[in-house]
Amino acid sequence: MSDGWLELIARADRKITSWPLQATEAIRYIHSKGVVHCDVGIHNFLVQDDGTLALADFGGSRVDGSKSQEAGVPRYKRPTLSRDSDPTEIDDLFSLGMVIYEIKTEQMAYAGKNNGEIRKSLENRRFPDLAPLSPGWRVVVSKCWQEGYNNAEEVLADLNNLSHPDQGRLVISPPPSSLLHYSTRLSAAAVIIVVLWHSLLRR
C-alpha cells in the first residue's frame, strides 16, 4: 500500500468503516453481470471526493468465460490458481480478503517482501497475521483466504451481521449519493466497456 493510500485512510476517518462493504458490493455487482475482475486490489479502488470507493480498471477482466488479459498483483492472487488457469469469482473473493485486511489494518500485506517471497508464502499458505483484526473481521478475511465463500453475497451477509448483528442488515451512511450508488453506475459502464472490448477481440 502506498504512502498516499495510508494518508487517505487517515483522512477518511469514520468513512473507512464502510469501505469493506463498498468494495464487496462492487465485486458482487460485476459478478452478477458475468464479469470477473481478475485484478482486485487496493490499487484498483478509487477514492472519491466524498471519501467513498469505486472499483476501476477492467482492462484484464473476464466476461462470460472469456480469457483473462491480466496477470494480477502477486499478493492478491489465490495460491491454488495455476499459472495457466483463468481467475474465477473465487479468486476475486480471495483478493477481496486482502483488500479488506489492508483497509482494516492500514498496512500493506506482506510488506517488505519481494514478489518471489510473497508467492512462496502464499503457496505455503502463510497468510498475513490476523492478530491486528477483531475476531469478527478475522473470520471474514480468513474465509476469503480459505475459500470459505461461494460468492460475494455471502461476504456481504457476514459484513452486515458483523456491523449490525441485531438488525440483520447494514444501513450505509452517507446515503444513495455515496459510492454504492455511484459505483453501481461506474461498474455498469465498465461492464458494457468490457463486453464491447471482448467482442472486438473475437472479430
Active site residues: 39
135 preceded by a cis bond (ω within 30 of 0): no
The cell numbers describing 42, all together, are: 487496493
* Integer CA distances (angstroms), 174 to 8, 19, 44, 82, 182, in order: 18, 12, 22, 41, 12
Which residues, including other chains, have CB under 8 Å from residue 75's CB and lie 6 or more apart? Answer: 41, 98, 108, 109, 110, 118, 122
C-beta of residue 144 within 8 angstroms of C-beta of residue 100: yes
